[in-house]
Amino acid sequence: MPLLDGTEMGETLDEVDQLDVAVTDVASSLGRSHQARLEPRRSSISKVVTSTKSKKKQHLHKLVKVVTSEGITTTATSLPKSMLASRPLPLLVCSVGNPGSQFANTLHSAGHTVLNRLADRLGYPGFHKDRQHGNGLISKPSIIPGGSGDWTLWQSTAYMNDSGKGVRAAYMAWAKNIVDGEGRLVIVHDELEKPLGAVTLKTGQGLSAKGHNGLKSIMSVMGNTPFVRIGIGIGRPVSRESNDVARYVLKKMDAGEKSAVEGSIDQVIAKLKQLETG
């Protein structure tokens, strides 16, 4: 019997047959990749297979809930779309700034500061250089923790005004491993004018870069590929002269400024959780 390839229940086969196919597909998929973790769930699977039609759907929903809540990746293709919709979307979270110790912990590299803090909070391994992902710095867990989303963290190693090429390369490499091509690209950047440590989320496409050279660079190379933006407020100098603004964003953060930027992490995590739900 062919797999349903994600069709809704009742569209192509008798509902009971569809449920049997879905259960078999989920069970075999989990069994191949997670033998040890599947063992405690065998009774649930048996209940689904042997249950009457009225109970079968109930048990299948429970099984799918276990799959998604524990972060287990399944290759099952017969799950109904209504169930797949509850799975968190993978996120590629990219920060832009300027490279090297000279620009580390400057206001203009606030995105990097936040991503370092995010990796620490999530318990991710340290960032390491990855040529396949645009020669940037990458951090991701080897196993997705139970109940957590699939977030890959990436830091640009290019100068701000040339960060687009690296972001595009990282996205193309990351997207190859995303099931059904469903995932979101998130850019974390500093945001002038906003209060220090304030967090903004912009999901609309075609929005202005508002003079931000990193965003301009990304927009110039990503074409029609959508991405969302998380801005980290860095305040604004009193003077509006361009040279004064440049000196302000490129200066090292003092202790209070760094604390405010790093203190935005809870808001950033909340925004990312919002994005992974679609």
Active site residue 108: yes
pLDDT at residue 110, as a whole number:
97
For the cut 60, the answer to whether the pLDDT of residue 3 exceeds it is: no
- Say how far apart CA 184 and CA 150 lie, in whole Å: 11
- Residue of 108, 112, 133, 212 marked active site: 108
- Say how far apart CA 251 and CA 247 lie, in whole Å: 6
pLDDT at residue 207, as a whole number:
82
Q: What is the pLDDT of residues 129-151, one digit of tens each?
A: 998 899 999 999 866 554 457 89
Confidence of residue 224 (pLDDT cuts 50, 70, 90): confident
pLDDT at residue 52, as a whole number:
60
Contact 31, 73 (CB under 8 A): no
Q: Chain-wide mean pLDDT for the chain?
A: 79
CA nearest neighbour of 106 among 193, 217, 228, 189: 189
- Say how far apart CA 205 and CA 23 lie, in whole Å: 39
Q: What is the pLDDT of residues 67-112, one digit of tens each?
A: 554 444 444 445 555 554 456 889 999 999 999 999 999 999 999 9
Output the CA torsion sign for 60, 91, 29, 21. Answer: positive
- Say how far apart CA 235 and CA 273 lie, in whole Å: 26
Q: Is 73 exposed, middle or buried (0-12, 13-18, 19+ CB in 10 A)?
A: middle
Distance of alpha carbon 69 from its chain centroid, rounded?
A: 16
- Weakest-pLDDT range from 154-163, 177-186, 215-224: 177-186
Domain ranges of the chain: 91-277
DSSP string, 105-140: TBGGGHHHHHHHHHHHHHTPPPPEEEGGGTTEEEE-
Tokens of 206: 């075609």
CA angle 86, 89, 95 (to 5 degrees): 155
Percentage of the chain surpassing pLDDT 90? 55
Is 91-277 in CATH node 3.40.50.170? no
- Say how far apart CA 218 and CA 166 lie, in whole Å: 9
Task: Give me the residue label for tokens 């950033």.
Answer: 268
pTM of the model: 0.71
For the cut 70, the answer to whether the pLDDT of residue 217 exceeds it is: yes
pLDDT at residue 141, as a whole number:
84
